[in-house]
Structure 1
């Protein structure tokens, strides 16, 4: 049973529209029930049964059935009036960017007003739109209804089944590409990256040159210089020949510190020179050699990596193939069974 949240109703200032929505819901339900009754009245079986049970009422309704179009036009007049009222309210509230957007957004209301059997089904969308509007303002909570939970569960089942099949199909195609030597990756390399190699190499050279300049900066290069100092100092202190200098009286430690500082400066400056002197042509040669000259060990490693990727995709397919909705349904049945045992 739907409950109306009075606090949210007051906060939304939608009380008049809620009243209108309730009236329209009643009119819609009455109209749809009348349409169903009139359609059944037109069948021989229902007409004969009604005539046997309520002969006077059946004969009295016959003129209404013969002129039901005029009854339908009365309902349509009510629907169109409500539509125009909401259109005017939307224009006053500036709900949409343009005043004429309203009929395009609520096209189903207009289509449902056409007195044809094929278009009357769109009146159900009007009911759904009213309920959605009330749910949006948190005046009612559709999540609390059993019908919504039922529909939401089977909607999730449908989406899960459909998405699982799509994901498994995509992963299977990816496995086929990997088994075929990954032609997609080769196509990306040769058709996308290779034509842009000059731009990529120029960007890489500029980035490395900028990095070399940053190391020279007192602030930005401090971290790199400290790292080089610690690394060189550790290497020098662990060197047997340098440790032998400590035996020299007085100047042994001084020589070690001087050597450590000198090597640090040499290594740092070597890195800076290497980065600053790199050109796009040198990087181009390096990339060209790396792409065309691959050892047998590297090829074997590539094949092993592709096998690992294939096994990972197989595990993902197995995980995706598991039906979570079956697990949820089984858990729900167990909970219901436990509740019944508790009641007993």
Structure 2
């Protein structure tokens, strides 16, 4: 049974699913699907039987009399049937156009031929294959309404091969674009301008990300090693005082208390070095982003780094170019991965 919600979304939303008009429209759609498929099947077989390949095939299986009977008696009937079918399509299209005008299916009466342009083109003998497009649309509409037109296995196969075709086409397009971009960057002299424009456009974001990274990682490391760094600096200052011979000689000239003063100066110097180091580390280890009077050192550092011009730094230019090319190669490598092959492998493994 069809699903009520799907019916509401179809073109029959204004009809009662149990009413006679609804059933008539539904039967007509199903009839059109089968008659279009049958018509194209007859034309395809006619093309094969009237071709040299068809003649060779029937001669090889010793059924040339059957081929002669078809060419003499059935072929004219197929051509006549195709002519009548074209007239039927024209009349059917005009009737549907009139119904669309009366029931105001579209905002303007002349919208109908543009919306159904593929049906108009399908009337032309050389564009008969477009009739399959209409049959597919009708079948899909019936499928949305809940009717199982084709077996589920057929639908899965058709969806799989559709995805294969679309993936192959999209992969070729993307790979061609990436190769063209890489060739342009390698041969053109304007690649620096392109890269500079990209960086210029993202300078603010780059500066913000860099500041966040510095504040999160560097401040954490400074908080962890704060005491050790201060102690090391204090010891360095104390050792520097001790290694100053002029100060040592001067203090030793003072009798009795000279050595004591020397020790006090070393101790004071060590404490002074530790305190100064603590004062320098505090703004970096505990940045106060809410204080308006105290600038964020990380933001200032990141802003200065983001303002570096690539043209004036060859190493930075090389780094950016390398990152761009590696990114293009990574995308190209990922695009070349065949997703449909992986699906087939998973299906084969599931069967095993």
TM range (shorter): 0.5 to 0.7
**Structure 1 pair 316/18, CA: closer, same or farther in 2 (3 Å)?**
farther
What displacement does 1:172 show?
A: 4.0
Counterparts of 1:45-84 in structure 2, within 5 Å, are 46=54, 49=58, 53=63, 59=69, 62-66=72-76, 68-84=78-94
CA deviation string 1:188-233 (max 9, x = no partner): x9xxxxxxxxxxxxxxxxxxxxxxxxxxxxxxxxxxxx944x549x
Select 2:332's aligned residue among 309, 321, 338: 321
Conserved 8 A contact 1:111-1:122: yes
For 1:141 and 1:305, the matched residues in 2 are separated by 62
For 2:135 and 2:115, the matched residues in 1 are separated by 15
Conserved 8 A contact 1:177-1:183: no
For 1:335 and 1:10, the matched residues in 2 are separated by 36
Gapped regions of structure 1 (runs ≥ 5): 190-225, 233-296
For 2:183 and 2:67, the matched residues in 1 are separated by 66
What displacement does 1:24 show?
A: 0.7
Conserved 8 A contact 1:38-1:65: yes
Name the counterpart of 2:343.
Answer: 332
For 1:42 and 1:98, the matched residues in 2 are separated by 45
Note if 1:131 corresponds to 2:139: yes
What displacement does 1:319 show?
A: 1.2
What displacement does 1:309 show?
A: 2.1
**Structure 1 pair 337/112, CA: closer, same or farther in 2 (3 Å)?**
closer
Secondary structure at the counterpart of residue 337 of structure 2: helix
Name the counterpart of 2:254.
Answer: none
TM-score (norm 2): 0.52
Secondary structure at the counterpart of residue 39 of structure 1: helix
Conserved 8 A contact 1:8-1:139: no
Name the counterpart of 2:4.
Answer: 7
Conserved 8 A contact 2:118-2:130: yes
**Larger Rg, first or second structure (1 or 2):** 2
What displacement does 1:111 show?
A: 2.4
RMSD of Structure 2 on Structure 1 (CA): 4.1
TM-score (norm 1): 0.54
Secondary structure at the counterpart of residue 109 of structure 2: coil
Note if 1:108 corresponds to 2:118: yes
Gapped regions of structure 2 (runs ≥ 5): 14-21, 201-289, 296-307
For 2:50 and 2:91, the matched residues in 1 are separated by 30
**Structure 1 pair 59/136, CA: closer, same or farther in 2 (3 Å)?**
same
Name the counterpart of 1:20.
Answer: 28
